[in-house]
A = this chain, B = another copy of it.
Amino acid sequence: MKIIEGGVTTAKGFKAAGYGAEIKYKNRNDMAMIFSQVPCSTAGVFTSNVVKAAPVMWDKVITREKGVAQAVVVNSGIANACTGKQGEDICRKTAEVAGKELGIPYDTVLIASTGVIGMQMPMDRVQKGVEALAGIIADTKEAGTEAAKAIMTTDTYSKEIALEFEVGGKTCHIGAMAKGSGMIHPNMCTMLCFVTTDVAISHDMLQKALSSVVVDTYNMISVDGDMSTNDSLMILANGMSENPEITAEGADYDSFYEALNTLCTEMAKKHAADGEGATALFECHVINADTKQNARILAKSVICSSLTKAAIFGHDANFGRILCALGYSGVDFDPDKVILSLESKAGSVNVYKEGTPIDFDEEAATKILSEKEVTAFVDMQAGTEEATAWGCDLTYDYVKINADYRS
């Protein structure tokens, strides 16, 4: 398995495009389409927010109940959430237009939206966008990148990845595009991520792999603790690599699982590092916890702490805030056993051990915390389980971006 250049058009048989439909933004692309030459197995995981956007409800039926999809239509600018019956109608109409243009059943078209909540979509412009996209989709790397750019909102860079791996003697590919740097929270991804692969795999095994992989990847990131109404991670598998179809666990499933897991880990880190206003990726690695679930909760509590995030922005080794965040996580533990160090490319510094602070070189600590990727390394000395969570620092720009995002 290796990471290669590419995105959603890397796997065989997938086309994509981006287009400027002026849904809300001007002078940029704001709609994207992904299309597979043949019908795909599909699976998805979605926001657990009670307030679900119309497209989330639409996609859940397709990915979870029907299991077959062939295209995706995405727009940025308006989330189509809290939009009632009208929002649902727009979803269905968009799928109908796309189905007609692409010559596929309308109920194999996945829909996704991101942007302002509580605003209605302009159906006329959506329709024009879909028609235009159907005419320009291509299987080139550039087409994939155009699609990835079109779905950005406050992201500072587009997010793509591709991997090559082997299943049953056949070379397979998996690629993805994603967006999202705000409204990112652990309970579910809180962003949009679309994965395409040419591996042959049944719907059941695809959903199983996806549901399992998100637990330690997308569910372990947070930018600001707000969980979106639109979070969606969907995968399309068209089988064009001609491997023997994966229908049960085994070596082939494991190969695919490993590729999907690597893809989701790398993409999750991209989301965290591009957190709104962020200057650094902040990782918390918890080891020797008593249970896996507790390791996850502890790691997430640290990367979600506003005070800790602000300290990271200030390059301040204020480790007491990390201990504090471990303490209010809900996990019961003995504070007198915890060992804490701060690490980055610039080195490592031990700051706390078994109940007492350690004298450390402030200057060295500041240097370590001034890197682009900073890790809080926590040894609970309570068992053998570990987990990693990813977040970012809290900056002036986070406030600036969100104080006036809508207008």
Footprint of B on A, CB under 8 Å? 47-52, 79, 81-86, 116-120, 182-183, 185, 187, 224-229, 304-308, 310-311, 313-314, 316, 318-321, 323-329, 331-333, 335-336, 351-352, 354-357, 362, 394-396, 398-407
CB-based contact B50/A333 at 8 Å: yes
Query: Can you sample 7 A-B contacts with CB below 8 Å?
Result: A50-B335, A82-B356, A119-B357, A226-B307, A229-B323, A394-B402, A396-B396
> Which residue of A329, A401, A402 has the most chain B CB atoms within 10 A of its CB atom?
A402
Closest chain-B Cβ to A115's Cβ sits at a distance in Å of: 10
Closest chain-B Cβ to A395's Cβ sits at a distance in Å of: 6
Q: Write out the residue numbers on chain B whose beta carbons fall within 8 Å of the beta carbon of A318.
A: 116-117, 405-406
Q: Write out the residue numbers on chain B whose beta carbons fall within 8 Å of the beta carbon of A407.
A: 314, 316, 362
Q: Write out the residue numbers on chain B whose beta carbons fall within 8 Å of the beta carbon of A224.
A: 306-307
Give the number of times this chain occurs in the complex, counting copies.
2
Q: Which of B52, B82, B329 contacts A320 (CB 8 A)?
A: B82
CB-based contact A328/B185 at 8 Å: yes
With contacts A120-B357, A406-B316 known, is A324 near B396, CB below 8 A?
Answer: no
CB-based contact A307/B402 at 8 Å: yes
Given contacts A50-B332, A51-B323, 6 further A-B contacts (CB under 8 A): A50-B333, A82-B356, A84-B356, A310-B403, A313-B399, A398-B399
Q: Write out the residue numbers on chain B whose beta carbons fall within 8 Å of the beta carbon of A85.
A: 355-356
CB-based contact B403/A118 at 8 Å: no
Give the docked Cα–Cα distance between A333 and B51 (Å).
9
With contacts A187-B328, A226-B324, A310-B399 known, is A352 near B118, CB below 8 A?
Answer: yes
CB-based contact B328/A227 at 8 Å: yes
> Which residue of A182, A335, A354 has the most chain B CB atoms within 10 A of its CB atom?
A335
